[in-house]
Amino acid sequence: MVHETHGGETPHLVLGGARSGKSRFAEKLITAYPPPYLYVATAEILDEEMRLRVDHHRRRRGKAWETIECPLNLVPLLNQFNSQAVPVLVDCLTLWMSNLMLQETPCQPELLVDSLSETLLRVNYPLVLVSNEVGCGIVPDNPFARRFRDLAGIANQKIAAACRRVTYVAAGLPLTLK
């Protein structure tokens, strides 16, 4: 069952480059619903620069948002929200994939992406997911970075196929892809 939304359907994938306006656009999609809002943060604060980014995003969102930190176990968390009808924003899938790849214990991120895609087919609550489009830049100079770029590209394709709506944001301007 897919939840009908204001003029669209979810899940909704929002893609874009760094500082493209994708997070702000995704927040607008969620705030079209009545509060409370859940923000699923995949980022881990490992340095001062990331702490400043997180603080900026939290101030911009305001008090109507509850933040749940989920750097790794995204699929089980999203499954818990079924039938709750609370709007959920996941920001961002590329950080989630990066976290998976950097784990000390071996994991197969591709299988978790497949599991996420399958979960998205069963979502029955308002859900917006944010992901970076990383394949538009230069070719990375090392095998790990190339593997990440490839994983992100393939994941975006699979997740976009599972989502009812897909929007690409560039220079703060949304372009509907699906």
Q: Which residues are catalytic?
A: 57
CB 165 within 8 A of CB 14: no
Tokens read off for 24: 């702000």
How far apart are the C-alpha atoms of 153 and 93, rounded to whole Å? 11
DSSP string computed for 80-97: HTTTS---EEEE-HHHHH
User: Which residue, among 130, 118, 120, 115, has the nearest Cα to 29 in the 3D structure?
Assistant: 130
Q: Please give the sequence-ordered ranges of beta strands (E in DSSP) within the chain, or none if there are none.
A: 4-5, 8-9, 12-16, 37-41, 65-69, 88-91, 127-132, 165-170, 173-176
Tokens read off for 177: 């892809």
Strand pairing class (173-176; 37-41): unpaired
How far apart are the C-alpha atoms of 80 and 82, rounded to whole Å? 6
